[in-house]
Structure 1
Amino acid sequence: HRKAIGCKWIFKIKENPDGTVNKYKARLVAKGFLQKPGFDFTETFSPVIKPVTVRIILTLAVTYKWAVQQIDINNAFLNGILQEEVYMTQPTGFEVSDKSLVCKLHKSLYGLKQAPRAWYDKLTQTLLQMGFVKSKCDPSLLVHHQQGACTYVLIYVDDILITGSAPHLIKDLIDKLNVKFALKQLGEVDYFLGIQVHHKPSGSLLLHQSKYINDLLNKTKMENCKPIGSPMVNSCRLSKFGTDSMQDPSLYRSTVGALQYATITRPDIAYSVNKVCQFMAHPLESHWKAVKRILRYLKGTVHYGLLLQPSSSSPPFSLRAYSDADWATDQDDRRSTSGSCIFFGQNLVSWGSKKQQLVARSSTEAEYRSMANTTAELLWIQSLLQELQVPFHTPTLLCDNISAVSLAHNPILHSRTKHIELDIHFVREKVLSKHLHVLHVPASDQLADPLTKPLSPSNYATIRVKLKVFPCFETP
């Protein structure tokens, strides 16, 4: 016995990047929250492209001077084929005289739990029939190699980027997709997932989120705030214990969640955003004060973004990773903070700032854990580049802790290191098989340092340059 789920109309005003009205949109959505698992739907997971993959493909595009085309599928989810039997009540304004009748859905509808998955399956099946192959490292990247020419398709739900070495093959692919689905050709990429893509005369791309950040400042009523030189006070030591509970914790959570998305083009705020994310459960006024400081910093650097430059030398490309850790800095549980950044050629493609899962008993242990995590990310990038048939040099991992570097080369295992043996063997295996070079770097040249601790405003201009964050309207 099945129950029909409800539906309703959603009205929305779509805006352009500059805030002007693009169009007024009406869409019929199903009330998917009434669906029962295993009955109306089974699988709902739908993969989306990883930001690292996008940065790597864009680096290849600027280096080889490929055009990056963007297409948007109209009403994408309506193309998905439903595997399950789903019934829905009649939509308002389109009822027939017999009110007891319901609609049986053959294709998916916005609002259904399985709609994103059904659409992803439909689109990838179409591309696989055209000879594309799904990447094993990132299933939202589809690759096509034909007579020495390659075409890459990046899928983020209904937003699609297409690039490759042969413009006629890209045009041919877009024409074929246009036959299957109604699509909008948006031309050369300039606004993708809330990220603005600024094309510089030098051929570089600058990815920034000015509109997104301005909207966030307006939402938090910080649009007229006074800018400040760094996102966090360098003496800042936040704790989860305190009596000054925040009046509106949902404002804290939504603002911090929005700031997380801003880190896609802003590695310079990665550490401070990671820090304020640790207090979502019970935010205090002191935590909110730290969030407001990040917003003040963004106010002064709203037009800054991540620069992707063409590789200066011919392939093979270089892969350089910096790994750092700040030992036992957490006031409450004495866990360490790991930071890492990975450069593909001269472009920063991956970075992270994360509190470690376990308490480290020495600074060497904290650094080594961070090295192991960075190595894992490097291996994933290596696998992706091998799949894309992109030549690269053996990756180099740079760390400023001499003991951690020597442990990678000489596994002197004793009582003080045996509890981190797994990490030691994991990194050492790569070093022995010549798949990784681990080198020492002086602390002054450690580029992952801003991802592990707050630094003073006087250093921040230099930090931004090191992390490839530049303003939109002047060449670095």
Structure 2
Amino acid sequence: MLPLEGYSGTAAAKGHPEQVCKLYDILVIGNDSKLISSLVANLNSKFALKTLGTVQYFLGFEVKRNDFGLLLSQTKYAHDLLLKAGMADSKPCSTPMATGLRLGKEDSKVFEQPTLYRSVIGGLQYLTLSRPDLAFVVNKLSQFLQQPIEAHWTACKKILRYVKGTLQHGILFTKKQPFTLEAFSDADWARDEIDRRSTSGYNVFFGGNLVQWSSRKQKVVSLSSTKAEYRSLSQTATELVWIQNLFKELGIHINNTPII
């Protein structure tokens, strides 16, 4: 992966930075060094570029290579989020949510800083791009953005305390053969006490690496736990079909039948 900085417009290439209108940050990825060099040279003939070397930090993601593979994390981003919420010196906890916690809309008084709540939840949503362990609880708290209460903010602070103790966590990608596509699906029946809709969740692995995950409420009310599970399976199967079509367009052939 090769990170580049580019300035739009031909004015930048002519030495007129005051006329630059926008800055781009892009990654060039490939397994052919000559082709990458040719692409960069062609881009540099049209725009003013700066090659930053092997990627280490990009859009809040830290990229670390080790003997096991490639680790993607958001340590600095998570630390900045803790500072923003005033939780940088908080005591870490081992779980992001208390077991059996059920949140409603009128369990306590209205939170006096709704803007702070929405901002922190928005930051946590971006953090889930490398932290699937936060997906369920962040999705749950994001359902109360319109009028958060004190109980919601307390639950949010517990997530931040969990993040404080797991700053180095991320996703590890390793090189494995053969390329197999598999997924795990689950459903939490009638979890929401307000509308009794269930929550579906799935993880998709490609070659043993986690590439896609989701945790969201189902669109309709399931009248039984079996129906909730089947709806979750349907969502997972739909995602697998989309990924298969994407790989087909990219020329990646998967010999094995996907397994859920």
Q: Same fold (TM over 0.5)?
A: yes
- Structure 1 residues 368, 226: closer, same or farther in 2, change over 3 A? same
In 2, Cα distance between the equivalents of 1:320 and 1:243?
42
User: Conserved in 1, the CA contact under 8 Å of 2:108 and 2:151?
Assistant: no
User: Conserved in 1, the CA contact under 8 Å of 2:3 and 2:27?
Assistant: yes
Give the equivalent residue in structure 2 for 1:166. 32
In 1, Cα distance between the equivalents of 2:245 and 2:102?
39
Give the equivalent residue in structure 2 for 1:186. 52
Q: CA RMSD in A?
A: 1.9
Residue 140 (structure 2) pairs with residue 275 (structure 1): yes
May I ask how many residue pairs the two structures share in their alignment?
Answer: 254
User: Conserved in 2, the CA contact under 8 Å of 1:190 and 1:196?
Assistant: yes
Match of 1:377 among 236, 239, 245: 239
SS, match of residue 53 in structure 2: strand
User: Conserved in 2, the CA contact under 8 Å of 1:321 and 1:395?
Assistant: no
SS, match of residue 251 in structure 2: coil
In 2, Cα distance between the equivalents of 1:362 and 1:235?
20
Structure 2 stretches of 5 or more lacking a match? 11-17
Residue 97 (structure 2) pairs with residue 232 (structure 1): yes
Match of 1:215 among 69, 80, 95: 80
User: What amino acid does structure 2 have at the position aligned with 1:359?
Assistant: V
Shift, 1:159, TM fit: 2.3
Structure 1 stretches of 5 or more lacking a match? 1-67, 80-93, 95-106, 111-156, 399-476
Match of 1:337 among 181, 199, 212: 199
Residue 152 (structure 2) pairs with residue 290 (structure 1): no
Match of 2:228 among 358, 366, 371: 366
Match of 1:247 among 87, 90, 112: 112
- Structure 1 residues 327, 209: closer, same or farther in 2, change over 3 A? same
User: Conserved in 1, the CA contact under 8 Å of 2:185 and 2:236?
Assistant: yes
Shift, 1:354, TM fit: 0.2
SS, match of residue 396 in structure 1: coil
SS, match of residue 88 in structure 2: coil
- Structure 1 residues 168, 228: closer, same or farther in 2, change over 3 A? same
Q: Percent identity?
A: 47
State the Cα deviation string for residues 363-420 of structure 1 (Å, max 9, x = none): 111111111111121111111111111121344343xxxxxxxxxxxxxxxxxxxxxx
User: What amino acid does structure 1 have at the position aligned with 2:159?
Assistant: I
State the Cα deviation string for residues 319-367 of structure 1 (Å, max 9, x = none): 0011111110111110000000000001000000001111011111111
User: What amino acid does structure 1 have at the position aligned with 2:206?
Assistant: F
SS, match of residue 198 in structure 1: strand
User: Conserved in 2, the CA contact under 8 Å of 1:252 and 1:283?
Assistant: yes
Give the equivalent residue in structure 1 for 2:210. 348
SS, match of residue 210 in structure 2: strand
User: Conserved in 2, the CA contact under 8 Å of 1:323 and 1:397?
Assistant: no
Between Structure 1 and Structure 2, whose CA radius of gyration is higher? 1
In 1, Cα distance between the equivalents of 2:224 and 2:138?
26
User: What amino acid does structure 2 have at the position aligned with 1:279?
Assistant: F
Normalising by structure 2, we get a TM-score of: 0.93
Residue 195 (structure 2) pairs with residue 195 (structure 1): no
User: What amino acid does structure 2 have at the position aligned with 1:70?
Assistant: P
Residue 165 (structure 2) pairs with residue 310 (structure 1): no
